[in-house]
A = this chain, B = another copy of it.
Amino acid sequence: MYNVSEKVNLVDIAGRAGVSLSTASRALNNAYGVSAATRTRVLAVAEELSYVVSPEASRLAGGSTGRVAVVVPHISRWFFGEMLAGLEEVLRSADLDLLLYNIDTLDHRRHFFERLPARRKVDAVVVLAFPVDEQERKRLELMGVAIVAAGGQSASYPFVCIDDHIAGRQAMDHLLFLGHRRIAMIAAETPLAPGWPKTNQRSAGYYSALEEAGIAPDESLVRTVDWGGEEGAKAMGGLLSLKDPPTAVYAHSDEVALGAIRTIRRAGLRIPEDISVIGIDDHPAGALADLTTVHQSVREQGAIAGRTVLAALKHEEFDPAIIVPTELIIRSTTAPPRRRGVL
């Protein structure tokens, strides 16, 4: 098999350029103390031989790893993939490599924090959208590298996320504005993050909106489910079996909302005529279902997290708590409620 890279080392290019090893090294790393002429020559030779440093050797001799670990739950979900895309883009632009660790079960999660497979392999780790507990935090710090969180607040690390309370309010206020008073909430909670502030805050938005509107919360209208469309569908079934069903449903996420919609349609009811539905996230599948929702720029959050990492690595200043704005997107799953008698 034809293979160049295995053979071309710094010595080679040094020899070919007629300089010493160290000069070649300096030139490549554009360090001080190399004449422009020499540098150009070295660079040319390197280019010609298509040389690339051995990251291993470089690192061993005192450099950084040039890698960052990204820990993400459920990589196949749009939200995380999108965030990862934003993150990857800025890391790549800085020539950093991304080591991916998917943590989609409690077992994998434990494994990750106990074994710390990324130890000694990265310059930083970013935790995507799930809360690390106290113990995990300690393990992480054993790695002795920069840590940043994205997609959720963190007490311990710099983070970037949306304000879930506000997002919840935007959804609820829209429903309230339309005239709904009997509004259900399907709260989503992932087993990986029970009690994660995200879900709580989205719930808090529900309660505070109701209170402000002078409506007493009815706990029979509140369902908490494991994150996901199928779960949302099930919860909606429960809601529809109430003697006095809601005229509108606020779901913590678009996936959950989509599940609810399926149940409503299967029940022969129409949206939004009979029941309004709103979600949060602005998931592309939601757009395809004409779902009213609250938009958040997920990819941008990933990118910001990436920039935070870069700043941290360069020991530059950075904002340790960035909140990205959200925005109501009205599509066609919400409308004013019909009179009760008409239904």
Chain A residues within 8 Å of B, Cβ to Cβ: 1-6, 50, 52-57, 59-60, 65, 67, 70, 74-78, 80-82, 84-85, 88-89, 92, 95, 97-102, 104, 108, 116-121, 141-144, 229-230, 233, 255, 258-259, 261-262, 265-266, 284-285, 287-290, 299
Contacts and interface: CB of A to CB of B under 8 A. Distances in A.
Nearest to A257: B288
A100 B98 contact: yes
Contacts of A1: 141, 144
Given A56-B56, A97-B99, A117-B95, A144 B3 contact: yes
A97 B67 CA distance: 11
Contacts of A98: 99-101
A326 B163 CA distance: 42
Contacts of A118: 97
A287 B105 CA distance: 23
Contacts of A143: 3, 5
A233 B288 contact: yes
Interface centre among A60, A81, A85 (most CB of B within 10 A): A81
A121 to B, nearest CB: 6
Given A5-B120, A144-B5, A288-B285, A85 B104 contact: yes
B289 A142 contact: no
A98 B54 CA distance: 18
Q: In the complex this chain forms, how many copies of it are found?
A: 2
Contacts of A258: 285, 288-289
A232 to B, nearest CB: 8
A50 to B, nearest CB: 8
Contact of A6 (B82, B121, B144): B144
A52 B139 CA distance: 14
Contact of A60 (B5, B57, B78, B97): B57
From A74, A92, A265, name the one whose CB has the most chain B CB atoms within 10 angstroms: A92
B284 A229 contact: yes
Given A142-B3, A229-B288, A258-B289, A88 B100 contact: yes
Contact of A97 (B117, B262, B284): B117
Contacts of A120: 5, 52-56
Nearest first, the 8 closest Cβ-Cβ pairs linking A and B are A3-B144, A285-B285, A76-B81, A76-B82, A258-B288, A56-B59, A56-B56, A229-B288
Contacts of A76: 78, 81-82, 84-85, 299
